Amino acid sequence: MGTPFLKEIFHLNKPKINPMQLFGSGLCMFIILFTSYFLNNMAIASFGSFGIFVFFYYQNLPLKTLLLRLSAVGLYIFASYLLGALSTHIGWLAPLVVGFIAFIGRVFFRLYNITKPGVFFGVMVAAMGASMKLPLAILPSASLYFLMGIVLSLLIATIVNLTEKTPATPIPKVALSQRLANDPAVFLDGIFYSGMLFFAVYLSQGLQLNNPYWLVVSTAAILQGDNLRAMLHRNIQRIFGTTIGIGIAALLLSLPLTTIQTLLTITALYVIVECSIRSNYALANFFITPMSLMLAALIKHQYVTSLLQDRFVGIVLGSLLGLFAAWIMTIGLEFYNKAFHLHETLDKEND
């Protein structure tokens, strides 16, 4: 007999992680937030925090390999944001740009076996860039802050790597042609994935949501699952976790916290997310939601009630769309297998 469905959803994994990695993650966020505070420039917190997402891709690899991998990921995430931000100046381009970014990222991360979060952060920053309508005059400074976050991630990753006590995992060199031969369904998967995110951006704009990127991000998050069952898990976990997280966010945002206390709280939540995301996705959303909303309130000064409503609506709609997309992708692969007598599945990554 298989594991009961609800037990699978709320099961807590016990991953092994270098404590210095958690410390490094918190240090990245701490430096960005307090640099922003002391320079009285919250744009550093906004755009610099995008750059430190690169640290989420940290693995215990040989230092040179690690830095090359993180640099490639950083370049992809930065280019994703830049293209997303530029697309706002020609409105109809945004869905095409996000779809293109999703396709390139999906193929690249799958071929080079760069495990989760994979393409997710590239899609996320592209969707956010396409939603902000940033004036061209501000784009150079925003790009500089973004790059600051990436450089900080590389620096902290180097320090953490030097503290590793277990041997680094070597990465074998495999030619691109061989990778393509080993994974013939990669382009089909990329087309499905990018097509669904194209539609998510189109839908979010059509519904005129206040924060449309939350719908797109939720769709991308659900599609991180390795198969239809895993995606169904993530759908339930994301909606349930977000509901609890909104309650926690409402409590935290109602407290009379000073700016410094708010920054410390965001940093603590960021570290908790880094730890809990490896244990259980629903649990992680308890803390992702208040962290995201506190950062948004700090930067945008949007009404708390509006933020909570926008977050919930965007995540519910995006999660349901993501689950529908997962079903379409699964059915599509079944027809592909029948037509070409292959046995391709979505199971190309491990949690």
Is 221 a residue whose pLDDT tops 90? Answer: no
Span 34-52, mean pLDDT? 91
Token pair recorded at residue 81: 């944001």
pLDDT in tens, 167-176: 888 888 888 8
**Where are the chain's structural domains?**
17-340
The answer on pLDDT for 80 being more than 50 is yes
CB of 88 within 8 A of CB of 178?
no
What is residue 130's three-state secondary structure? helix
Whole-number pLDDT of residue 225: 66
Alpha carbon 107 to chain centroid, angstroms: 16
Mean pLDDT within 76-90: 91
Residue pLDDT, tens place only, 155-213:
999 999 999 988 888 888 888 889 888 887 788 888 888 998 999 998 888 887 777 88
By three-state DSSP, how is residue 183 classified? coil
How far apart are the C-alpha atoms of 295 and 264, rounded to whole Å? 11
Q: Which residue has the higher pLDDT, 270 or 326?
A: 270
The residue type of 159 is: I
Do residues 188 and 336 lie in contact, with contact meaning Cβ atoms separated by under 8 Å? yes
Mean per-residue pLDDT of the chain: 83
Query: In this predicted structure, what is the pLDDT of residue 342?
Result: 55
Give the residue carrying structure tokens 């037509």: 339
> From the CB of residue 50, how many other CB atoms can be counted at a distance below 10 Å?
23
Per-residue pLDDT, 269: 92
Is 128's pLDDT higher than 70?
A: yes
Give 100's pLDDT tier (boundaries 50, 70, 90): very high
